[in-house]
Amino acid sequence: MKRRVKFGVIENRSVKSSGSAYQFLGLALICFVASFALSYVSYFFQSLSGFNSSQALASFIFWTAILALALRFPLRSIVKSFAGYVRSMRGFLIFTAYLSVHLVVYGFILETIVASLYPAVVNFSLQPYLSISALPLRPIGPEGILLGFFVYPNVTLTILPFLGASLSLYSIVMAIIIGVLVITNIKKAIELRDACSRLRKSSAFVALPVLGVVGGASCCLSLPLFITLFAPAAALSYSYQVAYYVTYFLFPPITALALTLNLSSINKISNRITTKAMVT
């Protein structure tokens, strides 16, 4: 009888969990439909100031749904581990510091590339300059709407004549996801180090995962920065175009995937060490 009750409780929990998941997916679908509808409406309301509120709101709804889906489903177990670590002051400060540095450096790289490609349209004022733009991209259709979500709204901050940062909601959402993965990787690497020390295992088990964290945390910035600063003058235009598209569209998801795989390897190593210690 007790077993039946336990199985019944488990079944009820699984039903409730699947029900909440379907509700979450339904809400996300509504958000996607609303964002595309708002973006379509924005084509018929031109803005002379360069900021279309319908387009900005549509992009905000779209990326909020994307972030919620990513944290709710593929990164759910990672978010639980991250939440436990970031509650401490140390974890919170590390996450905040990394997120700030990532956004500033990433935004600086993009702005440098854009300034090199289109020097005539970039503001080089000696005064600090802040601009926010949100415009629908043509042609009208799903492709233009989706590309507009990736580009707008765009915030550009110029501090010095040749120092500025350019950020969009896409880059901010990806920075949050990468930050969560970096902090969780650091936490798991520390736990693996402690386990190796406690079980008297070689520190080599920790070396590769740590290198993975460092590589994953920096690869989104290092190669594009290298191309940006040291591209040969003869191939400047082509190099900068490649650097921009690779930096903006490809490096953030590639970095997130690399950090996820590195975290999986850390968990496998940790489980293997713990299992061997229990057997012996």
Q: Is residue 25 part of a domain?
A: no
Q: How far apart are the first and last CA of the chain?
A: 38
Residue 135 sits at the vertex; the CA angle it makes with 131 and 140, to the nearest 5 degrees, is 165
**Do residues 260 and 268 make contact, with C-beta atoms less than 8 angstroms apart?**
no
Residues 6+ apart with CB under 8 A from 103: 165, 167, 171, 172, 175
What range defines the domain where residue 168 resides?
Answer: 75-124+162-279
Q: Is residue 184 part of a domain?
A: yes
Q: Which two tokens stand for residue 135?
A: 């415009």
Q: Is residue 187 part of a domain?
A: yes
- CA-based nearest residue to 99, from 222, 25, 181: 181
- Confidence (pLDDT) at 196: 73
- Confidence (pLDDT) at 233: 44
| One pLDDT digit (tens) per residue for the chain, 280 residues | 444 444 454 455 555 566 788 888 999 999 999 999 999 988 887 665 678 888 999 999 999 999 999 999 999 999 999 998 888 888 888 899 888 888 877 777 666 655 555 554 445 455 667 778 888 887 788 888 998 999 888 888 777 655 667 788 998 999 899 999 988 988 888 888 777 777 666 555 565 566 656 555 555 554 455 455 544 443 455 555 666 677 778 888 888 888 888 888 888 887 877 776 555 5
In terms of DSSP bridges, do strands 129-133 and 163-168 run parallel, antiparallel, or are they unpaired?
Answer: unpaired
Q: Is residue 144 part of a domain?
A: no
pTM above 0.75, yes or no: yes
- Confidence (pLDDT) at 154: 86
Count of domains in the chain? 1
DSSP-derived secondary structure for 202-259: -THHHHHHHHHHHHHHHHHHHHHHHHHHH--GGGHHHHHHHHHHIIIIIHHHHHHHHH
- Confidence (pLDDT) at 133: 85
Q: Is residue 251 part of a domain?
A: yes
Q: Is residue 67 part of a domain?
A: no
Q: Which two tokens stand for residue 144?
A: 């233009």
- Confidence (pLDDT) at 173: 94
Q: Is residue 174 part of a domain?
A: yes
- Confidence (pLDDT) at 71: 92
Residues 6+ apart with CB under 8 A from 185: 209, 212, 213, 216, 259, 262, 263, 266
Q: Is residue 13 part of a domain?
A: no
